[in-house]
């Protein structure tokens, strides 16, 4: 049958635009389908750890402040009565700095990079499901609705890459369900005008306190963040894991307000300084949707549940999966259709598992533990006061460690990831 491209990529977020860029640079004919139009916003913390920065460098993006990037020197961990300020580690694998940039133009920048590389971007195209071969069940394209009139469309290609985020419509259309044994997260965020917009450290609040009544402060479930954007605003938000007993019975927007009303007045996190509304999003974690390859379709990023259970970061994993997917797709397309091509494609889920699988298994255990308030409170109250443990906690939670080689802390984390059993 007539083919519309060699590869169809569904979703022009970090995973989709990154894989489209690498494939187009390799000479592959790529059709990149995006349901919205750029620029567009997305609920996110807007901050990348050094692990994510490496991916931007690999793409060859201009990372200068003049190009709109705000840099972070490290992470400030805040609990009820403890502040730790930790610089990003200097590693072989990752640079010693993080960056922040709003998703409003971050995603558009990545999409433009893909277009410059030769990918064909088609906006206002909502993909509703996969097209499959009636005889073999193999994915041979996608169907959906396009344009302002939402006319029915279909496109065909030998390979389809699902980068459609937490909705995972493509995976669901071929029966790839999520696993309830893996954690899910919910995140809400809002922008605030704040004098802290130029701080050099991003913040992680491991205890959220409602101090509306100073005589009776309440410890709230979840963890919070504050990512300075350097433009007069700070992205402030909080997240909670499904391992918490409160997960399904919380008004997250009210939870955010309760926490921020208890922060120091001079920080500016008050209603009169708010920019825009509170936004919320789901976070599919710990490989909660597999297999990552089946019958002509690959799952990348959030569509494959690749958000870190440790810190809720999804951009770096999305771009890492994109880099691996592009490598295996290019090799597969260089082979004839049939068993040899399938062997090349089968290497993708193995490569993703080798890179993230053990670390995420460890993260799934961590998510179960901190879902218990007493464990979380004890960990923050006592664990962060044991100086030798701090580098282990810091590198482990951020994912910024050298998986091969590195120092003793790196080797401990890598060893723990290897021996942690599957959940």
pLDDT at 361 over 60: yes
Whether residues 166 and 301 share a domain: the answer is yes
Choosing from 284, 315, 345, the residue where a domain stops is 284
For the chain, the straight-line distance linking the first and the last C-alpha, in angstroms and rounded, comes to 43
Question: Does residue 86 belong to any structural domain of this protein?
Answer: no
Distance CA 196, CA 89 (A): 23
Whether residues 308 and 175 share a domain: the answer is yes
Q: What is the mean pLDDT of the segment spanning 160-168?
A: 96
Structure-model confidence comparison of residues 253 and 214, the more confident one: 253
Choosing from 284, 311, 335, the residue where a domain stops is 284
Return the half-sphere exposure (C-beta side, CA atoms, 13 A cut-off) of residue 98.
31
Q: What is the pLDDT of residues 121-153, one digit of tens each?
A: 999 999 999 999 999 999 999 999 999 999 999
Specify the 3-state DSSP secondary structure of 275.
strand
Choosing from 364, 384, 406, the residue where a domain stops is 364
Tell me what pLDDT residue 1 has.
61
Tell me what pLDDT residue 423 has.
54
The token pair that represents 257 in the structure block: 């307000």
Structure-model confidence comparison of residues 119 and 65, the more confident one: 119
Look-up of token digits 């700070």: 234
Q: Give the range of the structural domain holding residue 192, as residue numbers without chain letter.
A: 184-284
Question: pLDDT category, 37, cuts 50, 70, 90?
Answer: very high
Whether residues 50 and 97 share a domain: the answer is yes
Phi, psi of 27 (to 5 degrees): 90, 10
Q: What is the pLDDT of residues 89-118, one digit of tens each?
A: 999 999 999 999 999 899 999 999 999 999
Whether residues 332 and 347 share a domain: the answer is yes
Output the CA–CA distances (angstroms, integers) from residue 228 to 5, 49, 101, 340, 386, in the order listed.
41, 13, 9, 49, 28
Tell me what pLDDT residue 303 has.
97
Helix ranges restricted to H, 135-270: 169-173, 252-261
Q: For a pLDDT cut of 90, what percent of the chain falls above it? A: 71
Whether residues 47 and 173 share a domain: the answer is yes
Distance CA 369, CA 363 (A): 10
Report the residue count for the chain.
423
Question: The dihedral of CA 2, 125, 18, 311: what is its sign?
Answer: negative
Q: What is the mean pLDDT of the chain?
A: 92
Whether residues 41 and 163 share a domain: the answer is yes
Distance CA 137, CA 51 (A): 37
Neighbouring-strand partners of residue 280: 188
Residue 37 DSSP class: -
Question: Does residue 411 belong to any structural domain of this protein?
Answer: no
* CATH code, domain with 197: 3.30.70
Domain count across the chain? 2
- Residue 45: which of 168, 288, 229, 262 has the closest Cα? 229
Question: pLDDT category, 373, cuts 50, 70, 90?
Answer: low
pTM over 0.85: yes
Q: What is the mean pLDDT of the segment spanning 347-361?
A: 95
Q: What is the pLDDT of residues 262-315, one digit of tens each?
A: 899 999 999 999 999 999 999 999 999 999 999 999 999 999 999 999 888 999
Whether residues 189 and 268 share a domain: the answer is yes
């Amino acid at each position: 049958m007539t083919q519309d491209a060699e590869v169809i990529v569904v979703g022009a977020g970090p995973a989709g635009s990154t894989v489209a860029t690498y494939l187009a640079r390799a000479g592959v004919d790529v059709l990149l389908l995006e349901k919205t139009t750029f620029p567009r916003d997305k609920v996110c913390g807007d901050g990348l750890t050094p692990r994510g920065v490496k991916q931007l460098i690999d793409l060859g993006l201009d990372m200068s402040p003049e190009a709109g990037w705000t840099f972070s020197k490290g992470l400030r961990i805040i609990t009820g009565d403890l502040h730790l300020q930790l610089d990003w580690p200097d590693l072989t694998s990752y640079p010693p700095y993080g960056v922040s940039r709003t998703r409003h133009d971050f995603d558009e920048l990545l999409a433009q990079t893909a277009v410059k590389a030769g990918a064909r971007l088609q906006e206002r195209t909502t993909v509703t499901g996969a097209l499959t071969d009636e005889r073999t069940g193999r994915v041979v394209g996608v169907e959906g609705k396009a344009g302002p009139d939402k006319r029915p469309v279909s496109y065909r290609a030998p390979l389809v890459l699902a980068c459609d985020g937490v909705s995972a419509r493509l995976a669901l259309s071929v029966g790839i369900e999520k696993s309830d044994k893996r954690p899910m997260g919910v995140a809400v965020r809002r922008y605030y005008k704040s004098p802290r917009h130029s701080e050099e450290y991003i913040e992680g609040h491991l205890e959220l306190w409602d101090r509306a009544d100073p005589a009776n402060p309440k410890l709230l479930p979840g963890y919070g963040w504050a990512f300075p954007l350097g433009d007069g605003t700070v992205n402030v938000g909080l997240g909670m894991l499904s391992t918490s007993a409160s997960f399904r019975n919380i008004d997250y927007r009210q939870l955010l307000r309760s926490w921020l009303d208890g922060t120091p007045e001079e920080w500016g996190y008050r209603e009169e300084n708010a920019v825009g509304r509170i936004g919320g999003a789901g976070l599919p974690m710990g490989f909660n949707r597999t297999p990552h390859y089946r019958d002509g379709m690959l799952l990348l990023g959030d569509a494959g549940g690749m958000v870190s259970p440790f810190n809720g970061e999804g951009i770096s994993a999305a771009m890492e999966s994109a880099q691996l997917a592009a490598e295996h797709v290019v090799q597969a397309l260089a082979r004839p259709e049939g068993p040899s091509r399938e062997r090349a494609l089968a290497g993708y889920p193995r490569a993703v598992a080798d890179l993230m699988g053990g670390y995420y298994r460890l993260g799934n255990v961590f998510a179960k533990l901190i879902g218990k308030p007493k464990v979380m409170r004890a960990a923050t109250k006592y664990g962060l006061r044991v100086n030798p443990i701090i580098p282990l906690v810091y590198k482990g939670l951020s994912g910024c460690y050298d998986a091969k080689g590195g120092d003793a802390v790196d080797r401990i984390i890598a060893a723990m990831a290897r021996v942690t059993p599957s959940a």
